[in-house]
């Protein structure tokens, strides 16, 4: 009897230990459908409702405009396929960060996390939330521009809600993403079907002589690609949460192959729909292309457009927060950011400190409001690291030949993507050199100073200050360090 009691106690202890192990690691709770929704939901944000004007302004004709949108989709797909190989070879969350770490070591990986966490990710998140705030507030002010304070407060509120949702639950964040993805697909479907109906009625006049007066210079094309690829940005977002994907070897590439081509088809059809009701001149004069389309086609139901564009932007913001929080988490786990940022919520199994940190940085970007300059050079910094990561893929083909590769793309794809990245980084500088590009490079390199001071040397005074802060935040947020993977 006593032996049975001892055995039962041991079983209970093992059960408790297994439950504790589960509470201190990120869980695989993102399936194929959620993965596709994250890709679609993150890519389709405010871009397709605003960027057509910017793309058209650089090529000046319908034909080249549609070609640019198609080519951007192909570039995004090829880039995502390269990342699929990396994601299934190195199954760690954090996007480019672990790939650069494996290929080139800690310094390039740190510079990526430094640039992404301080500039690229928060500025992108802030712009999306500001766009959401503007679309939500416009109907209440008629033809007047909404007060800047109202827009900023709404944007800050959106950031707080999104960070709270993603800090509370991975499943809740996924459900919110799925809902807003479904909502944005509604408006995308409305625009596409309306365009098809109009084409069937013979509204094809704006497609006649579609290459007339086009501008195809190297500089104009590069700027058009910048604006188009901004609308496609997010094609690599699933790589930020690889550790939380169910069966990543299958679901990561499958979500990419389904999600990005679907977005590309939607983008092309939406642009065709725009041109069925607007000439090139009218489209360029429009303040918000989708709203103009709604006013002309949907008439009394035109209010649907700003509502669903708001849904679209908030969905993109949620997807950005969901994935970027994992980059902060991984950088903290590797010792490249405050160790506290790698901790996991005991109750909710989310990287809550990382997400909260990301939300705070984003709100700081909203306070001054003047982040347009940073956004203009977002693509410059982003494509520099996209290109460097893809070069890392080529390098690891030689340095890590024996590494398991469930997916192996033909070598010409990463080589082609490397040349495309070089073109996208250098073309704007050569075409229109400006000092802010130099500032961007200097900011990236300034990360070396922080790396030497806080990561490489690890001064004792920093450790003495951070330890009590970490202890108190642990108790406040109920978070613990993630347990080592025993497998």
pLDDT for residue 461: 63
- Label residue 74 by pLDDT band (50, 70, 90): very high
Residue 225 belongs to domain with CATH number? 1.20.1740.10
| Least-confidence region, from 181-190, 205-214, 455-464 | 455-464
| Burial of 71: CB neighbours in 10 Å, binned 0-12, 13-18, 19+ | middle
- Label residue 9 by pLDDT band (50, 70, 90): very low
Neighbouring-strand partners of residue 344: 480
Q: How far apart are CA 292 and CA 309, in angstroms?
A: 13
pLDDT for residue 377: 64
- Residue 110 forms part of a structural domain: yes
φ, ψ for residue 245 (rounded to 5)? -80, 135
Mean pLDDT of the chain: 79
| Burial of 222: CB neighbours in 10 Å, binned 0-12, 13-18, 19+ | buried
- Residue 322 forms part of a structural domain: yes
- Residue 13 forms part of a structural domain: no
pLDDT for residue 462: 62
Domain count, the chain: 1
- Residue 45 forms part of a structural domain: yes
Does residue 99 or residue 95 have the better pLDDT? 99
Q: How far is CA 48 from CA 185, 271, 313, 357, in A?
A: 12, 8, 11, 29
CB 35 within 8 A of CB 245: yes
Give kind and range of the element (H or E) at residue 308. Answer: helix 304-333
- Label residue 325 by pLDDT band (50, 70, 90): low
Identify the top-confidence range among 61-70, 117-126, 338-347.
Answer: 61-70
Which pTM was predicted? 0.78
Does residue 75 or residue 128 have the better pLDDT? 75
Task: Specify the 3-state DSSP secondary structure of 30.
Answer: strand
* Average pLDDT rounded to a whole number, residues 52-62: 85
Instruction: Look at phi and psi of residue 369 and say left if phi exceeds 0, alpha if psi is from -120 to 50, else beta.
Output: left
- Residue 15 forms part of a structural domain: no
pLDDT for residue 17: 41
Identify the top-confidence range among 66-70, 202-206, 378-382, 445-449.
Answer: 66-70
Q: How far apart are CA 287 and CA 289, in angstroms?
A: 6
- Residue 196 forms part of a structural domain: yes
Q: pLDDT of 222-251, one tens digit each?
A: 778 888 888 888 788 777 766 677 877 788
Q: Which range of residues forms the domain containing residue 54?
A: 29-402+411-480
- Residue 330 forms part of a structural domain: yes
Q: pLDDT of 169-178, one tens digit each?
A: 777 777 777 7
Does residue 376 or residue 364 have the better pLDDT? 364
Task: Compute how many other C-beta atoms are within 10 angstroms of the C-beta atom of residue 182.
Answer: 14
- Residue 243 forms part of a structural domain: yes
């Amino acid at each position: 009897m006593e032996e049975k009691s001892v055995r039962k106690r041991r079983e209970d202890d093992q059960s408790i230990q297994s439950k504790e192990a589960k509470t201190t690691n990120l869980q695989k709770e993102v399936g194929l459908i959620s993965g596709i929704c994250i890709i679609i939901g993150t890519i389709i944000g405010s871009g397709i409702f605003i960027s057509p004007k910017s793309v058209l302004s650089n090529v000046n004709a319908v034909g080249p405009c549609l070609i640019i949108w198609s080519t951007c989709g192909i570039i995004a797909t090829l880039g995502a396929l390269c990342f699929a190989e990396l994601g299934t070879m190195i199954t760690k969350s954090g996007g480019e960060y672990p790939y650069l770490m494996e290929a080139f070591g800690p310094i390039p990986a740190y510079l990526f996390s430094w640039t992404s966490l301080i500039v690229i990710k928060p500025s992108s998140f802030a712009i999306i939330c500001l766009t959401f705030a503007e679309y939500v507030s416009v109907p209440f002010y008629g033809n007047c521009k909404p007060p800047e304070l109202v827009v900023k407060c709404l944007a800050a509120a959106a950031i707080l809600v999104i960070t709270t949702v993603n800090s509370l639950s991975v499943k809740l964040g996924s459900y919110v993403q799925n809902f807003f993805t479904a909502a944005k697909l509604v408006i995308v479907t409305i625009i596409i079907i309306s365009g098809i109906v109009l084409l069937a009625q013979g509204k094809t006049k704006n497609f006649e002589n579609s290459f007339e007066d086009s501008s195809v210079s190297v500089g104009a094309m590069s700027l058009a690609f910048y604006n188009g690829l901004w609308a496609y940005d997010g094609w690599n977002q699933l790589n930020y949460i690889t550790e939380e994907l169910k069966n990543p070897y299958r679901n990561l590439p499958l979500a990419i192959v389904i999600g990005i081509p679907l977005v590309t088809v939607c983008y092309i059809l939406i642009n065709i729909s725009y041109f069925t009701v607007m000439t090139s001149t009218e489209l360029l004069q429009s303040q918000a292309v989708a709203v103009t389309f709604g006013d002309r086609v949907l008439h009394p139901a035109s209010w649907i457009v700003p509502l669903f564009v708001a849904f679209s932007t908030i969905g993109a913001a949620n997807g950005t927060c969901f994935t970027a929080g994992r980059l902060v988490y991984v950088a903290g786990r590797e010792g490249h950011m405050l160790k506290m940022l790698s901790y996991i919520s005991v109750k909710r199994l989310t990287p809550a400190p990382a997400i909260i940190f990301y939300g705070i940085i984003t709100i700081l970007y909203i306070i001054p409001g003047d982040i347009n300059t940073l956004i203009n050079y977002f693509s410059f910094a982003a494509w520099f690291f996209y290109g460097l990561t893809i070069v890392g893929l080529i390098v690891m083909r030689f340095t890590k030949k024996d590494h398991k590769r469930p997916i192996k793309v033909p070598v010409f794809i990463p080589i082609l993507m490397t040349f495309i990245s070089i073109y996208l980084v250098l073309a704007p500088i050569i075409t229109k050199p400006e000092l802010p590009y130099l500032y961007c490079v200097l900011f990236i390199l300034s990360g070396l100073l922080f790396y030497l001071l806080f990561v490489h040397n690890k001064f004792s005074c920093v450790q003495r200050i951070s330890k009590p802060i970490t202890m108190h935040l642990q108790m406040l947020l109920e978070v613990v360090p993630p347990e080592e993977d025993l497998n």
